[in-house]
Structure 1
Amino acid sequence: MVVASGVRITWQELPEHVQAGVEAILGDRVVAAESQSGGFSPGTADRVRTASGGRAFVKAVSPTQNARSVELHRQEALVSAALPPDVPAPRLLGRYDDGEWIALVLADVDGRHPVTPWTRSELDAVLATLRVLAAATTPCPMPELPTVAALLGVDLSGWDRLAADPPDDLDPWAAARLPELVALGAAGVAALGGDTIAHTDLRADNLLVAPDGTVTVVDWPWACVGPAWLDTAMIMVNVNLFGGHDVDALLAEHAHPLGARPADLNGLLAGMTGYFLDAARRPAPPGLPTVRAFQRAQGDATLRWLRTRLEATIQRP
């Protein structure tokens, strides 16, 4: 199984002036740093400890590693600073930005990523957290956030690009249904209206489970406004990738009560599948050599799931 992982630099590789900027935010000298794996970023992801015993999480990047990651760090800083205090997310302690390097200093969360393949107990804890998150952010308390369509509409229109230039290795079932998949993806984007904060990038590597079982949602650059069920549906793409659970039953139990209709979910899955398969055929971005293989694995797994759902609908009397 391809894992969600980039090739990171470490705290020790940061320029001295960036380290000094972080230490100014912390008000103390960093004496230890432990690099964290997981997630798609070529920048740092370090749990740091200060001389007086304080702890924080530091993520930093510059255009030398990846220019897009710089933009995402800046957006994450804005979102993290504005999230309501009852959202289960790390508190932003400060940011350093010299126009080239940007570093986010966040409260350190005592936790680990959920185990994959997913265990039912951790999945239940995550789904409960997402219900709390949706309830706490409806109506959306951050009017500056973009809508799902504005932020992700182009990404979720991947079937348009696949239909215009089909890859040679496109699944034959999908190749024979390109107009249907284009229309389904468009309908999916149209169904994503709402008034709830959605994280929209939920995977096991963007979640932390504490020793007491509580869950924290991390990495917020893709936050936008959408339906209350969106994050619950999106995490199922990751669950489905690793297998071991009846994802349709889980959607019926957790997404349908939040207002998700089967057709809306099919549209979302179509849009996400098109995004993954279209993105996977592009060259790897700088510093992210594994992202395309991971996108392809997600695209293939989600396409199989979507096909099963659509064929079940056709066969249903």
Structure 2
Amino acid sequence: MKLRSRKIDADGASTSAPKIARMESFESIFPGMLISYGKFGKCVGTECDGVPLGTAEIQGRNLCGVCATEEYGSDFLETEDTSFEQSDAKFKCPAYGKEGSCNSKMVSIDVFYLGTCCEPASKVFVENKKAQEKQLKVVHHFYRIEFENVHCSKNFFESTKCQMKGIEDEIQRDQEALEEKMKKVEEDKKILEGKKKHLERMNQNHEASKRQLIKNENVKNDVLKRLKQLSYQYHSVATKLSLDEDVEAKENRKDFEYCKACGENYNETDRRKSFLPTCGHVACLKCFEEDACEQDDYPFCPMNWVKDCDNQYYLHEVRRLYE
């Protein structure tokens, strides 16, 4: 028993109309125009003109959509996942034998119905009503295909346009970010050059201070030598003044016993040992307080002139050093 289902017309559209009469053969409506069926150009069913737009091989027989649906039903076709191949039949030019015709005998089925092989072919109109109906349905089928293609192409065009806009915006953002980074790099370069120049000046100051220290050490040693000579010659006076003991005491004291900034000994009151956490330098509290008063509200570390420390501080940041 054959399965009945919806019919499929020549342009592939489905219809629920009742079974129609068998169509006349292609040869009867387009006599002498068919040259070769090709592999997929002939349908062996009974519901079409025998030369459809495409066929599928079903159980060893080439059938078009209309005939395959009539014989097996759409459920069978969907289950079997039937693949229809475009017809490779060849035809004469619709204007074959007429003036200006290309007279080709290798025209494909779509070119045959559309008449696009040459200008005379595009102006050929048949008188056979069945041929007119067939041509209109086929051309309408191709129009629907191209309409869908245009719709898909338009959607793809809009999609790519949207994607391009997104990429352009992303490029613009990246370009702006890159320019900001380049600007920051230039600023950092200027800061780096400034630091290099500052370091060069500090090196010069360091060398100058080193030379001054050597000079002061030499002068101090000369003065100490003279002081000891005088203390020896004026022993009684020197003993009374206790100058030699004071000089000797300061000469022999340890580094941790006195402030390197002012040279005075540490005590537990105004000159108690203090330090600055941000740089770790140690000095007496009085030096920190005096620098804070003598300089602006954000003075330099008291060791600035001793160890080239340019660290600045607030007085409340100074901490007492416990050893």
TM-score range, shorter chain: under 0.3
Bigger proportion of residues as strand: 1
Rg larger for = 2
TM-score between the two structures when normalised by the length of structure 2: 0.19
**Greater relative contact order (Cα < 8 A, sep 6+):** 1
Higher helix share: 2
